[in-house]
């Protein structure tokens, strides 16, 4: 029942501003792809276009081999067979949990027996059986989220869309619900497009992540690849606490700007202005890589359990480093970076 999705050259203008700019995206059947980006990057607009709740100005959308929006025609949202978990869940407050699940099946005039079977299955998968006769207002935030997922599961959609489904939950519940939600979705083998602005969430749920910037996809790759080799400084700045150190490269060496430190060995860009990507966990004692040593002044420190998170300054640029012990604020801290982890990205023109 799950389907592949192919969006080709999607363009959308809102109030004269280009929100999606000739964007293309392919999702294979059963895959989970996240759209990750800041507010205004166009991720929610793309999601609504895929759902059929908004129309693009140009392009083509093919779902399960059928064109659902294109020059040849359009399938309205009601008939696309797409499920969506909304940011606010959009549970109908005047219907019980069971009614919320059966509503869409009744709209499609399925036989009563099948409706009952689907509702029971979805309630069982989401462990909501005991709450079937409750109203949404009588459920906790986590339970409401499970109802929203169960409602989609009961409809057996070709594609499921998640619009920041965890943003309404508190931090403690968020991780539990994320694991539980993706377990259910993976078990059912449904194709998913997942919108979020939280890179940790995107990393955790996705097979691939599309990092979006101003209506285009800046990088589409697996979470590991994006983490290891961000395509450019925009993607690097959006991912997991990376620090960016401006400078220049020459023949495999990187030199920080403003003479903030000596040359160090690096990979990536080979010549000209560039930016060094520093992952906090890559910081090592100065003696570990004596040829790749830098010294910064400690600005602040915060205990994080496994380590201390230090903020150090190098020639006016700040770096975040994970350090095994508490360094004194104001002191100089020599540290080194493994050469193979020192990725330099060429500055964009």
Partner 1 sequence: MGVAALARGPGRLATAGRRRVLAGVSVTPAIVYAVFAVLLGLPLLLVLVQAVVPGLFDLTAQSTAPSLAPLARALSSSRVAESVLHSLELAATTCVSATMLGGVFALLAQRCNLPFRRFIAVLPWLVFLTPSYLKALAWVLLMSPGGYLVQLGVLPPDVIRAFFGLPGLVFVQTLNLFPLATFVIGSAMAGLGSEYEDAARMAGARPLRIWLRINGPLLMPAIALSLIAIFAEVLSDFGMASTIARVANFRVLTYDIYAAASQYPVDFPMAGSQALILLLLVLAVVTGDRLLRRRADPRLISGRSKSMRVLDLGKWRWPVAGVMLAVATLALFLPLAAIIVRAFTRTLGGGLAWSNVSDGNLLTALTVGSDANTALLRSLAYACCTAIVACLGALVLAVELDRSRTVLKPLVLGLSLGAVAIPGIVLGFGYILMWNRLPVFRDWPFPHYGAGSLLVTGYVAAALPYCLVIIMGAIGQLAPSLSEAARLHGAGRLERLWRITLPLVLLAVATAFLLTLIRTVFELPISQMLIPQSGPPVPPMVTNLFGHDQDGLGSALSLVSMVIAGGGAGLVWLAFSRFARLSPVMSSGAVPT
Positions in the binding site for partner 1 (CB under 8 A): 1-3, 51-53, 63-64, 66-68, 70-84, 86-94, 103-104, 107-108, 135-139, 144, 151, 155-158, 168
- Kindly state the smallest distance separating residue 128's Cβ from partner 1, in Å: 16
Is there a contact between 315 and 332 (Cβ–Cβ < 8 Å)? Answer: no
Query: Do β-strands 243-250 and 253-256 pair in parallel, antiparallel, or remain unpaired?
Result: antiparallel
Task: Tell me which residue has tokens 């909501």.
Answer: 128
What is d(CA 48, CA 87) in angstroms, rounded to the nearest whole number?
12
CB nearer partner 1, residue 41 or residue 144 = 144
- For residue 65, the minimal CB distance to partner 1 (Å) is 8
**What is the rounded CA–CA span in Å between residue 264 and residue 253?**
5
> CA-based angle 197:203:178, to the nearest 5?
80
Q: 39 vs 72, which CB is nearer to partner 1?
A: 72
CB of 210 to partner 1, least distance (A): 22
Taking Cα atoms as reference points, which of 197, 216, 170, 175 lies closest to residue 46? Answer: 216
Q: Tell me if residue 340 falls in helix, strand or coil.
A: helix
- In the complex, the smallest distance separating the C-beta of residue 151 from partner 1, rounded to whole angstroms, is 8
Least spacing, CB of residue 9 vs partner 1, in Å:
15
The helix or strand, by DSSP H or E, that contains position 105, with its residue range, turns out to be helix 97-107
Of residues 148 and 345, the one with the C-beta less far from partner 1:
148
Nearer of residues 102 and 206 to partner 1, judged by Cβ:
102
CB 33 within 8 A of CB 27: yes
Name which of 66 and 271 has its Cβ closer to partner 1.
66
Which residue, 136 or 223, has its beta carbon nearer to partner 1?
Answer: 136
Q: How far is the CB of 180 from partner 1 (least distance, A)?
A: 19
- Distance (Å, rounded) from C-alpha 201 to C-alpha 230? 17
């Amino acid at each position: 029942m799950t389907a592949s999705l192919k969006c080709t050259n999607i363009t959308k203008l809102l109030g004269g501003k280009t929100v999606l700019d000739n964007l293309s995206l392919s999702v294979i059947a059963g895959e989970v792809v996240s759209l990750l980006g800041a507010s205004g990057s166009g991720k929610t607009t793309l999601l609504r276009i895929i759902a059929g709740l908004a129309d693009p100005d140009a392009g083509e959308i093919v779902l399960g081999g059928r064109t659902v929006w294109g020059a040849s025609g359009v399938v309205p949202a009601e008939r696309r067979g797409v499920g969506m978990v909304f940011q606010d869940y959009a549970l109908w407050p005047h219907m019980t949990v069971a009614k919320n699940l059966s509503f869409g099946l009744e709209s499609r005039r399925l036989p009563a027996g099948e409706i009952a079977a689907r509702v029971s299955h979805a309630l069982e998968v989401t462990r909501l059986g005991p709450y079937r006769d409750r109203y949404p207002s009588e459920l906790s935030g986590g339970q409401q989220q499970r109802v929203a997922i169960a409602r989609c599961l009961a409809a057996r959609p070709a594609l499921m869309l998640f619009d920041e489904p965890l943003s309404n939950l508190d931090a403690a519940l968020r991780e539990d619900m994320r694991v539980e939600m993706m377990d259910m979705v993976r078990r059912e083998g449904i194709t998913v497009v997942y919108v979020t602005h939280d890179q940790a969430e995107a990393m955790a749920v996705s097979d691939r992540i599309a990092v979006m910037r101003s209506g285009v996809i800046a990088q589409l790759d697996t979470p590991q690849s994006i983490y290891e080799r961000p395509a450019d400084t925009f993607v690097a700045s959006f991912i997991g606490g990376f620090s960016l150190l401006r400078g220049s490269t020459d023949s495999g060496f990187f030199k920080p700007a403003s003479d903030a430190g000596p040359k160090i060995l690096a990979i990536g860009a080979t010549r000209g202005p560039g930016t060094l990507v520093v992952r906090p966990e890559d910081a090592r004692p100065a003696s570990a890589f004596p040829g790749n040593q830098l010294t910064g002044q400690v600005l602040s420190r915060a205990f994080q359990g496994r380590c201390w998170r230090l903020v150090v300054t190098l020639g006016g640029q700040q770096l975040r480093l994970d350090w095994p012990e508490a360094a004194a604020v104001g002191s100089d801290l020599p540290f080194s970076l493994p050469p193979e982890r020192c990725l330099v990205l060429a500055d964009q023109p």
